[in-house]
Every structure is written in C-alpha cells, then in structure tokens.
Amino acid sequence: MISCALIAAIALSATLEVPTEKSQVTVLRDPWGVPHVLSETDYGVGYGYGWALAEDRLEEALSGYWTVLGRRTEIDGEAALDLDRTFKLLRLTQDAEAAFDKMPKLVKDVSTGFADGLNEYMVAHPERVPDWAEPIHPAWPLALGRMIDYWIPLRNANGQARRIAPGIAIPSTGTGPEHYHSVGSNGWALAPSRTETGTAMVAADPHLPWKHEFRLHEVHLRGPSFEVAGAAFVGVPLPAFGRTKHVAWTWTSNSPDHTDVYKLKLVEDDPSKYHFGRKKLEFETREVSYKLPDGAVFKEDLQWSVHGPITHVNLEESYAVAYWFSCYGLTDGPVQYSEMLRAEDLDDLEDAMSELQFAHFNLIAADSSGDIEFVYSGRVPKRPESVNAKQPLDGSDPKLLWDEFIPFKKLPTVKNPKVGFVQNCNNRPETTTGTKADPKPDSAAPGVVAGGRTETVRSWYLRQALSKEGKFTREEAIALLTDGTMIPHGPLSAQLRHVWERFGGEYGAREKIAADVELVLNWDGSPDLKSGAPTLFLLWLFQLNGESARVDVAQLERIPEELSKDDAFAMFDAFKEARKQLRKLMPFPPQIPWGLVHVLRKAGKVFPVATGMYPGISLMNANLDLEKPDVMNLTCRIGSAYVALHELSDPPMSWSVTPIGQTDREDLPYVTACTELFAKRELKPLPFTDEQLAEVETTETVLEFELPDSD
C-alpha cells in the first residue's frame, strides 16, 4: 500500500518545472556520521544535505516544520493548540513563503535543493515517513531557522504582559524545572599572539535543550559559491555555528531590549477597531484552523495590529494586548547568513551583520588574518530615554512605534584587545577581558544591554584561564574547551574548610555530617565518575542556595575569614538536607557514584557523562534533574550542544563533538559514536579539506538529481 505521504510527494513532483539537466552530488560520511556534501552546484549542496539529514533525523526535521507552521495539533492533538496559536500569530512560514521568490539565487538554490532532497528521500523511503507528513516547501526550512530568534523574546514578552494578560505558549525545552538554566553558552577566541600555532582560534560551546526544535546536526557543505562546516539546527539548510576557510564564529545568548508589549484601547461599541493617535484602525483578522489527528477541525479568528500580533482581548475593560518583537516580520536572515558564509574576513562579517536580521545573540569570531572580535549583538530599537519599555506601552500613541534601530557599528564591541582573547559566557560586555578594552557599563545606547548578569561563574572562571601567561597549544585549547571541573568547588571548599575548623565543634550535628564534609574537602572538584563526591556536592549546592540553585560569583569570592557562625551553620545544615535527598535517590549506599546518576541514554545504552552540571557547573556540561526520586529515570537532557574548536590555519583545522550525535536510528553504525566521545569529554576531527577527508574512513553516496531550470 502506498502511504499518503508518498502519494503527496509524487503529486508535488509532478508540479515541478521540467528538468533540463542531470547532475550529481557526493555525500561522504565520516566515522562519526557527519555528512560532507560536495557538489558543483549550490542546488546540489542543498539537495545532498536534505537527503543526508532525512537519513538521520527525518521525523525531527518534519516535526520542527510543523511547529513553525502552527500545525502540531495534527501530531499531538489538542494539547498543542496553544503552541500552534503562537506560531500562527508569528506567521514565520507565511512570511518566508511570501519572500521566497525575491531571495538571492544562492539562498533559493540551496533551500530548494534541500527541500527537494528531503522530499525525494521521503518518496524513496515511504516506510520512514510519519503518517501526518507531507512534502515540504523550500521556504519552511528558512522559517524554522528563525524560530530560535523568538524563544527568548516570547518569554520576555510574557513577563512584561503578566499584569494585564496571560502569557502565550512558547516552545518547551523539555527539561522541566527552572534550575536547568536552559539559556546559556560559552564562546571564546584567541589571537595568533596567544597560540603556539600563530593562528587565531574560535571555541564554540552553545548550551541548548537536546530537544527536537533545538537539536543540532553537524555538516560540512562545499559548493561553487561557499564552503562551511559546523552545526545546523535540525531541518535548517545551513550551519548556525561554524567556520569557513577564512572565518569562524559562534553565538551566546544575551539580553538586549528587543521586545515590547502594547496595551491597545478598543473603540467604544466596535471592538474590531482600536485607537491609534487620531485614527481608529481596524484589526487585521483572519480565520485559522487546527486539524486534529482524528480529522476534526477547530477554527478561530486571530488578529494583528500595527504593533504586531494580538495575544489577548479584554472586552470588559475594553483593551487588547499586542506583542512586538524586533525580529517580527524579518525575512532576510538567510540573506545575511549567506553573506556571512562568503566573508573573507571580519570586516566582511561585520558588513553582513550590519543588516541586523537577528534579534539578539553575542557574536564571537575570528579570521585567518588573525583578527578576533566580540560583539554584543542585537536588533534594538531607538527609544526615547524617557520610555520605560519594560512595562506595557500605550498602543494608542504613534510616537511609541519604533522604526529605527541601533546600528551594528554602535553595539558594544571588543576587537583585537592587547590581552589576546575575547570571551563570553552570558556575562555583560564590560567583563569580556577584564581590561580597559572592555566597554564601560552604560556606554551603549539605551536598551542595548538591558539585562543579564555582569559576571557569570563560567565567564569568571574562563577569563582567569584565558588570562594566563604564555601561549596555548592546540591540546591546551581543547582541554580548556572541554574542562569538566565543577567550578564552585575550589572557592566553596576553601570557605567550608575554614568554617569547619572554626565553627564545626559548636555544631550539634557535627558527627552526622562529618563524613560528608570530609568527602567534599578531600575531593579535587573533577567529575570523577567513580566518586560519590560530585553527587553529594551538587545536592549540597541545591540545598545551600534554595530553589534557584544559582551560584553567583559573589558567593565564590567571599573571604573565608569573614564568614560568620550563621554562614557556617547554613553550610552545615545544607549537608543534612543533602543527605536526605541522597537517600531518596538510593536509600542504602553511603555514596552514590557520579557515573551512576549523571548519564546519557542512547540506543539502549547508558553512558556516564564526565562533566559537571548546574549549579556545580563546569564549562563543558550536561544537566539533569537530581531532585527526582527515581535514580533509574535520571538522564541528562540539556547542556553543551555542540563543542568545537576551529583553528584559522592553512589548511583549516577543527575538532568537535555533539552530545546526542547525528541520529537516533539504531540501524546506522554511527548512532552512538559522538555520544561515546562527549561522555568522556573528547573531541573528534572535523575534516574540511580533501586531504583531511582522505585521512579518515568514509562511506560514499552519489546522488543523482535533475537540476531545475534557473530563473
């Protein structure tokens, strides 16, 4: 029997333009499953990657498209209705489809090829196609690429609106408790003056949920117009984190003020209109439908205003709520990205970034000429200083509608500092290097640096490591990138040792906690899989710091001699509570080895993970919920999502790993290859040149396709 998806795919193929030329694309799979897609046409590059991704993560890619389409009710039923409403309001795919024909040829060729490769894989392998799926439009992968730019703005808008309206649904991280701190990342770059090789280096370590909308897939693409290697969000045609021959870059999350909430006054006796200055504007209203798995259809009207989508209407008090995002309606992100891929140096990269197509994210980059750079990047409107944009704004005032943005060149930047490095671990720009090269606090235009911590534990630790004298070897750079030391242990153990010696004798339950205190004090802070110290230390931090479980730099910098008896007893009491929590995990053993609870599960196997986690965080990390009582259900679900070191040498060299690998298909030989490395904090080579590819064992697939007529 032919599946519905196959019938639909055949129908789509019949509507395509008559092909005029046959061509081929070569896909080389390295031992870790990374596809190296080599083609003489840009369309072929897209086609080969679409096919290769479908081999690895077809259903996840399709699931991502259905998310941005606002069609998840077709998969998940009524439970997904709120999320679908959000994405129908955002109109990502609608805008992408409308803009697609005007895209530059390179963008259209790659995305069309990508969609065709994925669609034709579905035709060839109908048994792997979900029942709910259909052929994809080439604009959908571009829309999916925009989704990550809305994750934080949606959350911010919900926070601003909470006093006047309920929040709208946002993509789930799939991680539950807030103590996962799901927004993070590390990124740093070394100048040639700081490396033994005399070349610049870029280190990438984004921290993301390991869930389908946020998963990363590693790829190397080579065509006539560009060559890039790195990690792409599953279902997106180009890497978000990566390197070319000349430039390498990574991103970390930041906090510009790129989101506003507006309270609109409804027109009396006519709620289909709202006041805007002296005008009475009519809402744009459209009927949308949600299809359920059983075929039932639910319909409703959604509305939009000059300020953006309407998320709530209060008829009793005669107002509506609109969410405005600086990225709303933008469609040239792929254009900007295609220009970044062809950048010859950081000046070219800056020119591409000047298009301001991303709402936020810090940029850390370097080029083959040796320049390095950090930019606190974002699309931030020019607002009058008198405007408090953290509260809902008056939607009837035309002066509060923004149409100008802070130029990229005016954003906080650190370029080629004398110290020879830049870094960001979600800290504010004034703590980039710890030198005079850093932007001064409040030196940026209003709203650019609107939140975030001045310093994070990771930036505090990393900056100290990068400030060491001398030059980094490749091995030392990789060791720092994959550092698994539980950062808080060093400072907190020094504090604990002092107060234990000074106040421990006065503590009534001293004997009950003595063994646990000594275990932590005699431990070196490493994620020793055989030791129970990491497990106990994490539980102790959870109890010491309360529900947030956050460790701040101020806590680490406390002077041991200045701690009071109350401080000491708080530390001691936390050990008692940690022991109780330990018994919930496993009642009998006095210690629970870190390797028993800190694990990844893949293809029926369990991999103990030798990293730290929040709040006893390490630079390279994997996170789980240690508050769950069932030890057998513990598993890491978020953390370092793509760990890579790029050397801007000739030839280019890179080393990398992903925690969940290229695929979950147990019939593919590389299903656990990357997970095994990640669990041991090891990186693999990422071949870039033909010579490097020849040095590793590869399997070759040659795909034939019909090249459509060019425009």
Alpha carbon distance, N-terminus to C-terminus of the chain: 38
pLDDT at residue 171 in the model? 85
User: At residue 41, what is the residue type?
Assistant: T
Task: Report the pLDDT averaged over residues 184-189.
Answer: 95
pTM for this predicted structure:
0.94
pLDDT at residue 710 in the model? 64
pLDDT at residue 130 in the model? 97
pLDDT at residue 17 in the model? 45
pLDDT at residue 151 in the model? 87
Write out pLDDT tens, residues 681-705.
999 999 999 999 999 999 999 999 9
pLDDT at residue 711 in the model? 54
Write out pLDDT tens, residues 587-617.
777 899 999 999 999 999 999 999 999 888 9
Task: Report the pLDDT averaged over residues 123-140.
Answer: 98
Q: How far apart are CA 301 and CA 288, in angstroms?
A: 6
Beta bridge partners of 413: 375
Write out pLDDT tens, residues 453-506.
999 999 999 999 999 999 999 999 999 999 999 999 999 999 999 999 999 999
Task: Report the pLDDT averaged over residues 74-92.
Answer: 97
The answer to whether 556 and 460 are in contact (CB under 8 A) is: yes
Q: Of the given ranges (82-91, 216-225, 548-557), which has the lowest mean pLDDT?
A: 548-557
pLDDT at residue 163 in the model? 94
Band (180; pLDDT cuts 50, 70, 90): very low
Give the Cβ contact number of residue 128 at 10 Å. Answer: 15
Write out pLDDT tens, residues 234-291.
999 999 999 999 999 999 999 999 999 999 999 999 999 999 999 999 999 999 999 9
Q: Virtual CA dihedral for 367, 370, 374, 375, nearest 10 degrees?
A: -60
C-alpha distance from residue 227 to each of 117, 223, 687 (Å): 19, 6, 12
Band (175; pLDDT cuts 50, 70, 90): low
Percentage of the chain modeled with pLDDT above 70: 94
Q: How far apart are CA 352 and CA 357, in angstroms?
A: 9
pLDDT > 80? residue 358: yes
pLDDT > 60? residue 422: yes
Beta bridge partners of 38: 26, 222
Query: What tokens were used for 498?
Result: 């002092």
Write out pLDDT tens, residues 642-667.
999 999 999 999 999 999 999 999 99
Q: How far apart are CA 186 and CA 466, in angstroms?
A: 13
Sheet arrangement for strand 421-424: 421-424, 186-190, 201-205, 643-647, 653-657, 684-685
Percentage of the chain modeled with pLDDT above 90: 87
* Mean pLDDT, rounded, of the chain: 93
pLDDT at residue 20 in the model? 52
pLDDT > 50? residue 31: yes
pLDDT > 50? residue 18: no
pLDDT at residue 614 in the model? 86
Q: Would strands 362-367 and 372-375 be described as parallel, antiparallel, or unpaired?
A: antiparallel
pLDDT at residue 516 in the model? 97
Give the Cβ contact number of residue 82 at 10 Å. Answer: 14
Of residues 117, 133, 12, 5, the one with CA closest to residue 63 = 133
Q: With both helix axes pointing from N to C terminus, report the angle between 4-15 and 105-124 in degrees, rounded to the nearest 10.
A: 140
Of residues 489, 415, 423, the one with CA closest to residue 455 = 423
The answer to whether 586 and 631 are in contact (CB under 8 A) is: yes
Task: Report the pLDDT averaged over residues 37-41.
Answer: 98
Task: Report the pLDDT averaged over residues 366-393.
Answer: 95
pLDDT at residue 10 in the model? 40
